[in-house]
Structure 1
Amino acid sequence: MVFHNYKKPIYLSRNRSINLTLRFFIAMWNYNVKQNVAVLSVENVQNKLYIKTFAELLKNVKAAEENTQVAAIVLCISDDLFSYGEGESSLTYRISHAYPIIKKVIHALESCRKPVVAALLENAKGEHLEIALSCHYRTALKTTKLGLPQVKHGLIPGLGGTQRLPRLIGLPTAIEWIVHGNEFSAEMAVSIGLVDKVFSSSAEAVDRAVVFAHNLAGVFPEHRVLRNCFMKDAAKGEQLITKYMSALSTKNEKAWSIYMCLQTTYAASFLSFEEGLKKESEALQFLISSAQFRALQYVNESEILASRWKFSDKFNYQTVEPVQVRKAAVIGLGTMGSGIAIAVARIGIPVYVMEFNEEVLKERAELIYSTIRRMSLRKEITETMCNSMISGIVPISDYSMLKDVDLVIEAVFELISLKKEVFSNLNAVCKSTAILASNTSQLDIDDIASVARDPGKVVGMHFFAPSHRMKLLENVYGTYTSYQTISTAMHIGSLMGKVSVLVGNCHGFVGNRMYLHYVTESEFLLEEGAYPEQIDTILKEFGFTMGRFEVADLSGNDVIYTVRNGSHPQKNHGRRHRERVRNGIRYCPLADILVESGRYGHKTDGKGWFKYVDRVPYVDENITQMIKSYRESHDITPRTIHSEEVLHRMLYCMINEGFKILEEGMASSPNDIDMVWLHGYGWPKSTGGPMYHAFTVGLPRVLQVIEQRWHMAGSSEPHWEPSNMLVELVKCHGNPNINKWMGLYKTIPKSSL
């Protein structure tokens, strides 16, 4: 870590003439006096120097309050004070060592007998906003974003935010801010009374805040001290918490921080301010010692690391410039392609959208425009952005229009022959510098690139539906994909606000390669005695928002059918029903039977593994009977299957495959695998991801279960063959820290593998 050089401290008398602007330094704080207003601003804060930083701030606040020639105070709050993504150890240190002195600063600001104005110079999130709440007034820039995101880090606001915010903006809005942890605009903050003034120019922000504070001088704003404020809508507290608890139960929410945020904020409606602070402190201490907090810190660090791709010191995210994409195109306007077009347009890139049938093109284009208009109505985008996105999406049905695009994303049906045909046609019209991306979810990028004029310009960009909302983007590099092409794909994903994970070219890449085994084991469990509702309930109790069979009904059981069988569904195709072994490998045809009976899921009148009424799943006796009949026809005696077995078989087979992916170099770290599963497949965030889950369970225990399954199943279930990497890590190191797996594996002598 690089530490900046600090300015040498200069201590000056506070009695120096105030006709001139005074500037002197106390440690890391600048102390200026302008128009009888003390201006406090910070610079050069480094990790784990919080105690010294805030001790000096406390001195400055007291000095300004005692100085008879200072009538008001402006505290400049910028991103320098705190930063997220530093890691668990830094955040833990901050809370345990620095929070006590920060609380003293907050008390001094709130109790100061002179008006204190918080000038929010950049974004005001988390502790920045909590400190601002202790000031009597707040100003912000028009571009400032505000929020309390601690819940996303497995914590709650711990500096009085759960008690002050509801007293300022009301309990319903405060719960919305604190429980969801989202960020809001300065305009929104003004409308709810959180911010008093908004300035357009960052260059004049401090001076304008000084003028604002100067006009407040001379009157102590007793009514602006939040600790003394009465919460007007306190009577709504019980009704609100009942509503939120019901919603959390419906979502099967497992994150403790969400419940703690809700309970401590609700407590502000019936406890005194001091009692509320005590409850907040107790909740924070509980969370910071929890396994969920450690998992969420790992997740936050992993999201940052995912974007920092690296092949060598020469070729990495810092050294390789992406291609500037001025125009783009999306070919194929199904659900996926339409969403991709919206995502591209949202980042301000004009995009051609292509279908070959004019009627289909017109219909799909109008659906895209309708989706964008709904986004505007829901305030997800401004009306100006809505109009810009719609005008930037140009429907075409002829390849000739693509001659000047910089990026083409192909999103046609998942057939290799069709995709290669598209890429061959692109060769004829696109300029030589254009990047050609395929949205394939599993096909060989090198095979697709084989028909391209320049295979170095070909990359996989695997979006997840709905692609304008889902955060994951799997970028897949082939044998010949250039570093600049990789850099461009990663950059576009970043602009879209996605967690972009770079992966190697193998069947199914990372996510679907692991998901295949997850699906396979669920169907084997049906054969042996379980039912869809039992398996889905167990998965949701573990933390998944939806069970495996609900997900299949939502995405369409016919999609997996086509991938597995290489053809579209055919009703009552009896031959496949007898196959329980394919190419020497165990196979379960239950999903084929389901699809061939016309039950695709939501798209077929709500009939799939479940029957749906208003999109709510219910057990369908027809499915129960189908499974029973299948067992009888194959002389399978059902047995009782417990929750532990379901989780072991469905999760540990994926973990084993994850280790194989790592040892093959298809993913650069376990962190990347976990990001794929968290943001693309709904793995519960509070457990960190499948690889982190293996670490918390303990690699020796995970390997023991895998070896037991391999011994029972043998070669007919090759997905249970233990990964060499997992075996050797356990053999040589037991259960090493997840961040050390890759380094330790490289040190193991090849002769022992």
Structure 2
Amino acid sequence: MSVKYETREGVAILTLQNPPVNGLGLDTRRGLLEGLTRALDDVTVKAIVVTGGPRAFSGGADIREFGKPEAGMEPTLPTVIAAFERSSKPVIAAIEGLALGGGLELALGMHHRVADKRAQIGLPEVKLGLLPGAGGTQRFPRAVGLETAVNMIVSGTPVPAGKLAATKLFDRVVENDTLGAAIAVANEAAASGALSKVRDWKIEHPNAEGFLGFARTAVAAASANYPAPLKCLEAIEAAVKQPFDKGIDAEREAFALLIQTPESKALRHGFFGERAAGKIADIGPEVALREVKQVGVIGAGTMGGGIAMNFLNAGFPVTLLESNQDALERGLATIRKNYENSAKKGKLTSEQVEQRMGLIVPTLSYDALKDADLIVEAVFEEYSVKQAVFTQLDAVAKQGAILASNTSTLDVDRIAAFTQRPQDVLGMHFFSPANVMKLLEVVRGKATAKDVLATAMALAKQIGKTAVVSGVCDGFIGNRMIEQYSRQAGFLLDEGALPQQVDRAMEKFGFAMGPFRMGDLAGNDIGWAIRKRRYVEKPHMTYSKTADRVAELGRYGQKTGAGWYDYKAGDRTAYPSPIVDELIEKNSKDLGIARRAISDEEIVERLVYALVNEGAYLLEEGIAAKASDIDIVYLAGYGFPIWRGGPMFYADSVGLYNVLAAMRRYAKGHEGQAWEPAPLLVKLAESGNSFNP
């Protein structure tokens, strides 16, 4: 039963029961109308209270129905809202936990609203490239005022109910017993006989036209690649200038347009892909999680310190191990500095800084890790170093402790074999800076136990990470793909492009940073070390030699003041380097390549399709379980434009037939063997199918 019905002294109480957030699925919508009808038919009932209980009034649409017929079946949400709005008995919303999207729209259709001051209130549809489609753009401005409505709807950011207490949205904002307060309001409303409807309220503003003009300019400047924010504003403008029913028509017309845009489709793909990433085919709810109360981190450098901060932020005690006192003190000082910087920005209080620092147990001894439930190593990326660490861990860690490597490229199965407990070993590849970047690749070894993997995924959620499972291979999902992207970037330099043109083209496409600026930020010595390993392990794999020449000059990037670009002290601006340009042109001459003009379109296609092709290989090999997992890796960790949905989704939107045709065209040029199409890509393209069915 999705809606529980009960009465208390003449007040009917309808309680939504559709966990986890009382999504407004078909059964719930039907249950609401059945409860309303029952209350209206009962002559002993004088008023109605709708509640979702302490966890959530309603989070809006039930995401389990997206893309299914049930989502559009009657009664739809507008039908339900209209029924409550025209109720002959007063209806009161009792809001706790959250009222988001359709949940807030439902409450706006009721006659009165009572909220716990901590309840989260918002209309976040814009984050899916949509606008509130059940009257939110029309009723919300009437309830909270024009400026507050514009800010909240265009940003999609929820706020605590307490911040809206001074508006007409709520009759009462309380600190406890929300249901009791709602019942009191219900009795008052029944006694007065008045039925207040938000749709009848006026939007009052001293200069609505002027404010909307200002808002249009600001929103247009901030949302170049996203059509939804301006459409939200247009719908709100209709609420100001048109009668309510005309405004509703404008809202629905804009919603119907937005839901078909490629940007909304991409944003919705990312939304559902992130949730799907946590679902692992062979791990169900029957797999019990291991208990994790204490965490150990080995290495207090940039990565180790950042990893430790993730767990400290979530309240886990962390034992931080280093090999010498100086390194340990530097690491602790860096962690403190990071927290104090957050405090200066108002993100933490001084008490919170001290509380988190107080959770750290610094140590130079492996014995201090004997009680840790999870131990993550963040030491130098060499097998000999990893072997020394895991051999010692095998000797001191308690039975059942999870042993994780932060390796970004090394074989997790080989690392697991350094222990007598490979079932307890997996990879947890954090991205730098680890305390900021959302992505976490969880690498499943061939012996990794199911409960170990499930626990790591659950922990990722606890520490605020977007986790994706990868199988074992060199570079896992993200770095294995980015290597092909970087190879193509190098070949483009050989053929006629310069770093600034390649970066500019990729940034115009929507990447946060082009490949050469990214290399300078990460450190060109890192890529150089990987290529030198490749020359030994995979001599058949070719690279442009330009990157090696740049590194040989000691131009490692921003940290040395020179890389693909030149940098000035205290200035991170990338200035084109005549030295690098000359080096590139000389390399082309040495290769016997006549440099040519290269279009931005070719740059984008070659780099993005290099990602797509390697992604197809990862799917074939089972390294990635599904195409959306690859997309989430690139959206969360590599700066791929969110509004394009990730490389595999983007390829689907272009059409795999067209992707394959372009690859075959480029295969006729310099280093064409890098364009061997993955058999899966060929199969899907020739059959008219896609990566994301």
TM-score by length of 1: 0.81
Equivalent residues of 1:550, 1:610 under 8 A apart? no
Aligned to 2:542: 586
Which residue does 2:254 correspond to in 1? 283
Tell me the SS of whatever aligns to 1:451: coil
Tell me which residue corresponds to 2:652.
695
In 2, the alpha carbon distance for the partners of 1:652 and 1:333 equals 38
Aligned to 1:101, which of 79, 99, 102? Answer: 79
Q: 1:205 aligns with which of 171, 174, 178?
A: 178
Q: Which residue of 2 aligns with 1:474?
A: 441
Q: What are the superposed Cα offsets for residues 700-746 of structure 1, whole Å, 9 maximum, x if unpaired?
A: 33223333444556xx6554222222333445xx1225455xxxxxx
Match of residue 302 from structure 1: 273
> CA 1:393–1:147 in 2, change beyond 3 Å: closer, same or farther?
farther
Whether the aligned pair in 2 keeps the contact of 1:435 and 1:458 (CA below 8 Å) is yes
CA contact (8 A) 2:400 2:424 kept: yes
Which residue matches 2:313?
346
How far apart, CA to CA, are the structure 2 residues paired with 1:328 and 1:413?
Answer: 20
For 2:637, the equivalent position in structure 1 comes to 680
Of 127, 139, 151, the residue aligned with 1:164 is: 139
Q: CA deviation at 1:678?
A: 1.6
1:650 Cα deviation after fit: 1.0
How many Å separate the matches in 1 of 2:320 and 2:639?
A: 29
User: What whole-Å deviation, never above 9, does each CA across 1:55-105 have from its counterpart, x for those lacking one?
Assistant: 5577578779xx7983x5533255568444325424894399725414524
Q: Is the 8 A contact 1:656 1:706 kept in 2?
A: no
Q: Find 1:435's aligned residue among 402, 407, 413.
A: 402
**Equivalent in the alignment of 1:643:** 600
Cα separation, 2, equivalents of 1:599 and 1:518: 21
- 2:356 is the alignment partner of 1:399: no
Range that drifts further, 332-341 or 222-231 = 222-231
What residue is the counterpart of 1:661 in the other structure?
618
Three-state SS of the structure 2 residue aligned to 1:86 is helix
2:192 pairs with 1:218: yes
Q: Which 10-residue stretch deviates more, 508-517 or 441-450?
A: 441-450
Q: 1:106 to 1:276 in 2, by over 3 A?
A: farther
SS in 2 for 1:603: helix
Q: Against the structure 1 CA distance between its residues 460 and 639, is the aligned structure 2 distance closer, same or farther, given a 3 Å change threshold? A: same
Match of 1:228 in 2: 202
Partner of 2:565: 609
Is the contact between residue 59 and residue 99 of structure 2 (CA under 8 Å) also seen in structure 1? no
The answer for the alignment partner of 1:177 in structure 2 is: 152
Shift of 1:462: 0.6
- Kindly tell me: are residues 134 and 609 of structure 1, through their superposed partners in 2, closer, same or farther at Cα, counting changes over 3 Å? farther
2:493 alignment partner in structure 1:
526
Bigger shift: 268-277 or 535-544? 268-277
Partner of 1:119: 94
CA offsets, 1:341-393, max 9 Å, x none?
11112222111223333233223213213323444555656776544322212
Query: 2:589 & 2:391 partners in 1: Cα distance?
Result: 50
Query: Aligned partners of 1:266, 1:605: CA distance in 2, in Å?
Result: 50
Could you tell me how far apart the structure 2 residues matched to 1:334 and 1:159 are? Answer: 51
Amino acid at match of 2:192: G
Structure 2 CA distance for aligned equivalents of residues 248 and 617 of structure 1: 25
Q: Which amino acid aligns with 1:162?
A: T
Deviation at 1:423, TM superposition (A): 1.8
CA distance, structure 1, for counterparts of residue 527 and residue 599 of structure 2 = 27
**2:682 aligned with 1:727:** yes
Residue deviations 1:662-717 (CA, integer Å, cap 9, x gap): 1111111112212211211122223322222222222233223333444556xx65
CA distance in 2, matches of 1:176, 1:554: 34
Amino acid at match of 1:164: R
CA–CA distance in structure 2, aligned partners of residues 380 and 57 of structure 1:
44
Counterparts of 2:510 and 2:234, CA distance in 1: 21
Q: Name the SS for the 2:231 alignment partner.
A: helix
Alignment deviations for residues 185-208 of structure 1 (CA, whole Å, 9 cap, x no partner): 44445477755545555xx43223
Structure 1 residues without counterparts, runs of 5 or longer: 7-27, 568-578, 741-753
**Number of residue-to-residue matches in the alignment:** 681
Whether 2:263 is the aligned partner of 1:292: answer yes
Instruction: Identify the match of residue 218 of structure 2 among 240, 243, 267.
Output: 243
Within 1, Cα distance between the matches of 2:171 and 2:196?
16
Q: Kindly tell me: are residues 471 and 226 of structure 1, through their superposed partners in 2, closer, same or farther at Cα, counting changes over 3 Å?
A: farther
Query: Which is worse superposed, 721-730 or 670-679?
Result: 721-730
Distance 2:573 2:216 in 1: 24
- Aligned partner of 1:458 in structure 2 is 425
Q: Distance between the aligned counterparts of 2:422 and 2:459, measured in 1? A: 19
SS in 1 for 2:358: helix
Per-residue deviation, 1:337:
2.0
- Which secondary structure state, in structure 2, belongs to the residue aligned with residue 138 of structure 1? strand
Q: Which residue of structure 1 aligns with residue 106 of structure 2? A: 131
Aligned residue number for residue 364 of structure 1: 331
| CA drift at 1:155 | 1.1
Aligned position for 1:140: 115
Would the alpha carbon gap of residues 222 and 485 (structure 1) be closer, same or farther in structure 2, given more than 3 Å must change? closer
Aligned to 2:127: 152
Query: Matches of 2:102 and 2:641 in 1, distance apart?
Result: 26
> 1:150-206, CA deviations, whole angstroms, 9 ceiling, x for partnerless residues?
1222211112323433444445543443233234344445477755545555xx432
Q: Is the 8 A contact 2:303 2:433 kept in 1?
A: yes
Amino acid in the other structure paired with 2:399: S
Please show how residues 409-420 of structure 1 align to structure 2 within 5 Å: 409-420=376-387
SS at structure 2 position matched to 1:352: strand
Contact 1:124 1:144 in 2 (8 A): yes
Q: 422-431 vs 342-351, which deviates more?
A: 422-431
Query: What residue number does 1:628 align with?
Result: 585
Aligned to 2:520: 553
Determine if contact 1:120/1:139 at 8 Å carries over to the other structure.
Answer: yes
Farther off after superposition, 400-409 or 543-552: 543-552
TM-score (norm 2): 0.87
Structure 2's unaligned 5+ residue stretches are: none
Q: Is the 8 A contact 1:602 1:608 kept in 2?
A: no
Tell me, in whole angstroms, the C-alpha distance in 2 between the residues paired with 1:296 and 1:283.
Answer: 17
Q: What letter corresponds to residue 413 of structure 1 in structure 2?
A: F
C-alpha contact 2:203 2:240 (8 A) present in aligned 1: no
Deviates more, 1:363-372 or 1:260-269: 260-269
Distance 1:546 1:196, change over 3 A: farther
Sort the Cα spacing of 1:122 and 1:63 in 2 relative to 1 into closer, same or farther, 3 A. Answer: farther
Change in 2 beyond 3 A, CA 1:625/1:508: same
Distance in 1 separating the partners of 2:487 and 2:220: 35
Are the equivalent residues in 2 in contact too, given 1:147–1:177 (CA < 8 A)? yes
CA drift at 1:512? 0.6
Letter in 2 for 1:209: A
In structure 2, the CA distance between the partners of 1:644 and 1:608, relative to structure 1 (3 Å rule), is closer
Q: More displaced, 636-645 or 189-198?
A: 189-198
The CA distance in 2 between the partners of 1:282 and 1:623, in whole Å, is 53
d(CA) in 1 for partners of 2:100, 2:416:
45
Aligned mates of 1:704, 1:69 — CA distance in 2:
68
Residue identity in the other structure for 1:668: A
Q: How many percent of aligned residue pairs carry the same amino acid?
A: 35
